[in-house]
């Protein structure tokens, strides 16, 4: 029972008793009855006024309670004319103003944080109390290469992918650099924040590919320039001396002349080979900016395959063409892209087994080309080093081909990957400008 109802019942009971007493007093003392009747009437009026005042106060308090229950911080209470109640209403309105301000501030912060997370170039993954993904921003989706539907509500152990596998091994507040397929490097860190008094975790993923690439490029550029300068200067002087020495062969005995000339020629040939080696290294750092024009990709691929046919014929390679169109126009530098496909096919021919298959696929709608080969595939250890400077899996390889390929594709702003999936090792190139231009 409400207090207001109790007050009304109490006042009604008391005045009912007074009225009963007045009936007794009416028979014994008329004058005293009139005085008591007047006082009773005044008491009833006062009680009614008091009831209305109390009721108004209680209604105001009830209205304020309902507002708080509904979390409606826009409504305020009006003064009712009672100093004590009006002071309470003043404090209540101040509290409502403060709550509305805090709520607005919290909403603005939440909105700003949400937009900041969405626009952040770093990947951000937030987990709930059970360790399931509750929020992931577009940058993280692009790095993990999955859709939000495939990730949200799942733990990292339930999500397939190389990067998610590495993320599941992270320890709290322990940064880790994850290198994938020699092209992409990420700095990953798991941290915690407090939500409703409990710890929740989140992961930040920062791409380091550009920084690592630029650092590597600056380092090997300096080394190659220094080596090229020293080697070429020395080779020029040494070859000049050796050619001069050849002029003295006629002064030797007949039995010594042939050995003498052969030794000098071998030295000159070796010096020229060393010069060619340095030229190959120098080509990597002297790749010019691409001169783009319209290219018919399929014709380019067929011409490169024809060029590589003699080398492929020694292994009796089977060529598998899976083309989704007859003509595939792209916008690129013909000579540079030709060199890319030569390097890719050369590596594919070296990797494929005898009587193996090299598959060439085009995806015109996605502006993508894929060159795959059967064979032993690429191990995880080798995959992380493939595009490292001067790394090669062949015995006498110099590691130039993939370096040059990476440089040309970066200059074109083309995304690319080299991975083994099942029986196929595929080099995929997206022929749309997507990645940032590395300089």
Q: Give the pLDDT mean for 423-437.
A: 76
Phi and psi for 430 in degrees, rounded to 5?
Answer: -90, 120
Q: Is 393's pLDDT higher than 70?
A: no
Classify 120-207 by CATH class: alpha beta
Helical (H) or strand (E) element with 86: helix 83-119
pLDDT tens readout for residues 182-220 = 567 788 999 998 877 788 899 999 887 666 666 666 666
Check residue 390 and give its pLDDT: 60
Q: Give the pLDDT mean for 371-397.
A: 72
Domain boundaries of the chain, sorted by first residue: 3-107, 120-207, 212-285, 293-433
**Crossing angle of helices 297-313/334-351, nearest 10°?**
40
Structure token pair of residue 89: 């209403």
Q: To the nearest 10°, report the CA torsion of 52, 54, 60, 66.
A: -110
For residue 285, which of 411, 394, 185, 397 has the smallest C-alpha distance? 411
DSSP for residue 172: B
- CA pair distance 224, 216, nearest whole angstrom: 12
pTM for this one? 0.53
For residue 228, which of 287, 280, 268 has the smallest C-alpha distance? 280
- CA pair distance 178, 268, nearest whole angstrom: 46
Split at pLDDT 50, 70, 90, the class of 392 is low
Phi-psi region of 149 (alpha: psi -120 to 50; beta: other; left: phi over 0): alpha
Q: Give the pLDDT mean for 87-109.
A: 82
pLDDT tens readout for residues 221-264 = 777 677 676 777 777 788 888 888 877 777 777 777 777 888 88
Q: Give the pLDDT mean for 349-362.
A: 92
For residues 437 and 396, the model is more confident at 396
Check residue 204 and give its pLDDT: 92
Phi and psi for 140 in degrees, rounded to 5?
Answer: -70, -40
Classify 293-433 by CATH class: alpha beta
């Amino acid at each position: 029972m409400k207090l207001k109802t109790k007050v009304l019942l109490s006042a009604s009971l008391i005045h009912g008793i007074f009225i009963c007493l007045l009936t007794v007093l009416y028979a014994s003392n008329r004058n005293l009855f009139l005085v008591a009747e007047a006082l009773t009437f005044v008491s009833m009026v006062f009680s009614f006024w008091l009831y209305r005042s109390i009721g108004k106060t209680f209604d105001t308090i009830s209205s304020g309670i309902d507002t708080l229950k509904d979390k409606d911080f826009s409504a305020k209470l009006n003064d009712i004319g009672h100093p004590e109640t009006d002071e309470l209403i003043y404090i209540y309105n101040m509290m409502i103003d403060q709550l509305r301000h805090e709520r607005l501030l919290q909403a603005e912060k939440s909105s700003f944080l949400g937009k900041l997370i969405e626009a952040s170039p770093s990947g951000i993954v937030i987990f709930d109390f059970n360790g399931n993904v509750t929020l992931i921003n577009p940058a993280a989706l692009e790095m993990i290469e999955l859709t939000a539907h495939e990730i949200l509500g799942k733990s990292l152990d339930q999500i397939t992918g190389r990067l998610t596998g590495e993320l599941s091994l992270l320890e709290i507040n322990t940064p880790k650099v994850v290198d994938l397929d020699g092209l992409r490097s990420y700095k990953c860190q798991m941290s915690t924040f407090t939500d409703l008094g409990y710890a929740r975790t989140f992961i930040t993923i920062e791409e380091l590919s550009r920084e690592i690439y630029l650092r590597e490029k600056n380092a090997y550029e300096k080394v190659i320039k220094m080596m090229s300068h020293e080697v070429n200067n020395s080779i020029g002087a040494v070859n000049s001396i050796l050619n001069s020495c050849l002029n003295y062969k006629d002064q030797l005995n007949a039995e010594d002349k042939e050995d003498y000339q052969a030794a000098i020629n071998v030295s000159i040939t070796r010096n020229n080979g060393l010069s060619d080696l340095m030229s190959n290294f120098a080509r990597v750092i002297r790749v010019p900016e691409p001169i783009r024009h319209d290219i018919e990709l399929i014709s380019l691929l067929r011409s490169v395959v024809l060029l590589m046919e003699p080398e492929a014929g020694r292994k009796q390679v089977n060529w598998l063409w899976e083309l989704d169109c007859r003509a595939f126009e792209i916008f690129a530098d013909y000579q540079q892209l030709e060199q890319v496909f030569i390097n890719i096919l050369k590596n594919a021919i070296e990797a494929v087994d005898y009587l193996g298959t090299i598959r060439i696929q085009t995806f015109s709608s996605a502006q993508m080309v894929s060159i795959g080969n059967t064979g032993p595939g690429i191990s995880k250890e080798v995959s992380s080093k493939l595009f490292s400077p001067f790394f090669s899996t062949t015995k006498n390889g110099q590691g130039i081909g993939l370096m040059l390929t990476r440089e040309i594709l970066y200059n074109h702003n083309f995304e690319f990957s080299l991975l083994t999936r099942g029986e196929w090792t595929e080099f995929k190139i997206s022929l749309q400008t997507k990645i940032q231009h590395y300089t």
